[in-house]
């Protein structure tokens, strides 16, 4: 029976079920470790960093809730081949509430479907690093989500500890902007749009002038006819 948080229980449930399918001959355990540090590995241990998870935070002080697509999760993995037993230590970095300004770091909760895809990524890395296998394709699923606002690094525990992380959608936008800047591929559309407005205005002025000319000629013709 799981006596910790529901999210922790869900992580363990999904991990054990998927590892039973991926590596049924080996025994694996998943341990939550809030003291885990990036690049500080014991001998024989491997590391995997999930940089773009999605989760919901709930402030335990003012009850404010917020969604983030910048949740960082750190994994350390070790496989004892002789004992056919492995261990994964895991840390989900927390965030501060920007509403009440309390220094209390809050944990994130995640949907089961998000946990499943993140565990798939973990097992992919585990198979590559611990078993020397081709783990397959990593699942990057944040780029298709609507953005929920800019990431505020001053409220992010991972950022404060120097963990550099990015979101795929931001990376794609960055590359697109760079391509437009250096190739000029994005400039013609703006030029065409401004050109269309200029020519439309010019034709409107020309039409108005033509109408005035016709009225003037008609008035002049009628005036000469009465003389």
* pLDDT tens-digit series, residues 45-71: 999 999 888 888 888 888 888 888 889
List b or e across 61-81, with b for residues whose CB sees 16 or more CB atoms inside 10 angstroms.
eeeeebebbbbbbbbbbbbee
| pLDDT more than 70, % of the chain | 70
**pLDDT at 199 exceeding the cut of 50:** no
User: Domain segments of the chain: what residues?
Assistant: 6-166
Per the model's pLDDT, the better-predicted residue between 151 and 172 turns out to be: 151
What tokens appear for 81 in the block?
A: 């081949």
Render pLDDT for 157-171 as a digit per residue (tens, 0 to 9). Answer: 999 999 987 655 444
pLDDT, the chain, mean: 78
Top-ranked range on mean pLDDT: pick from 62-66, 104-108, 129-133, 204-208:
129-133
């Amino acid at each position: 029976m799981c006596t910790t948080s529901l999210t922790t229980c869900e992580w363990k449930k999904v991990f054990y079920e998927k590892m039973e399918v991926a590596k049924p001959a080996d025994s694996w355990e998943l341990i939550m470790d809030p003291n885990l540090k990036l690049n500080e590995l014991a001998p024989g241990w491997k590391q995997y960093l999930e940089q773009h998870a999605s989760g919901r935070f709930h402030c335990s002080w003012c009850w404010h809730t917020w969604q983030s697509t910048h949740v960082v999760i750190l994994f350390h993995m070790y496989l004892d081949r002789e004992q056919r037993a492995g261990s994964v230590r895991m840390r989900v970095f927390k965030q501060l509430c920007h509403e009440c300004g309390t220094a209390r770091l809050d944990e994130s909760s995640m949907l089961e479907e998000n946990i499943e895809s993140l565990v798939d990524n973990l097992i992919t890395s585990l198979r590559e690093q611990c078993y020397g296998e081709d783990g397959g394709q990593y699942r990057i699923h944040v780029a298709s989500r609507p953005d929920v606002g800019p990431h505020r690094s001053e409220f992010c525990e991972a950022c404060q500890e120097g963990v550099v992380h990015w979101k795929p959608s931001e990376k794609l936008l960055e590359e697109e902007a760079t391509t437009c800047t250096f190739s000029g591929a994005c400039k013609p559309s703006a030029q065409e749009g401004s050109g269309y407005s200029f020519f439309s205005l010019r034709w409107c002025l020309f039409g108005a002038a033509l109408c005035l000319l016709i009225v003037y000629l008609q008035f002049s013709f009628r005036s000469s006819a009465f003389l």
